[in-house]
Structure 1
Amino acid sequence: MRIDCETCPVRERHCAECMVTALLQLAPLEQRLDSDERRAVDTLASAGLITAHEAMTATARIEPWRPLRSTG
């Protein structure tokens, strides 16, 4: 069986729910950039504000959910 993200019909829309993405991630709270985030990072790189290496290795970070506490 071969799994190819390049041909996935829901690529970049449902990566967060994909078991393959979960297995390949480097850190549990890091995710691949979505298309809007990738465009923003590419814009920063083309403007010279970050290096090409920084742009290529950029990841999104999921912040841990903190439950709300009620008061009163």
Structure 2
Amino acid sequence: MITVIIDCTTCPVRELHCGDCMVAALLEVPGAELPLDAAERSAVTLFVASGLVAADDAVGLRARREPWDGARAVG
């Protein structure tokens, strides 16, 4: 078995090409979506009320669990 450690803090294009990075796709964890908690639902309600998010789009919003512990994505 080969272990690969991906460390965003040493990436040479950090914060320049995070949107194109394949690491997010590689780290996608099945079942990582969760229902919104009370604070998240409250924030979405405010976004809808202010017109930033359409009510129809807000209905299907889900939270996403990060697939790693102690690390933070940049970008």
Q: TM-score, normalised by structure 1?
A: 0.52
CA distance in 2 between counterparts of 1:58 and 1:43 reads 14
Deviations 1:28-53 (A, max 9, x none): 01000000000000100010001001
Q: TM-score, normalised by structure 2?
A: 0.50
Structure 1: which 4+ aligned runs deviate by more than 6 Å? none
The structure 2 residue matched to 1:56, chosen from 56, 59, 65, is 59
What does residue 42 of structure 1 align with? Answer: 45
What does residue 35 of structure 2 align with? Answer: 32
How many residues get paired? 42
- The aligned amino acid for 2:38 is S
- Stretches of structure 1 that go unaligned for 5 or more consecutive residues are 1-26
Relative to structure 1, the CA distance from residue 28 to residue 45 in structure 2 (aligned partners, 3 Å threshold; closer, same or farther) is: same
- Stretches of structure 2 that go unaligned for 5 or more consecutive residues are 1-29
Relative to structure 1, the CA distance from residue 36 to residue 67 in structure 2 (aligned partners, 3 Å threshold; closer, same or farther) is: closer
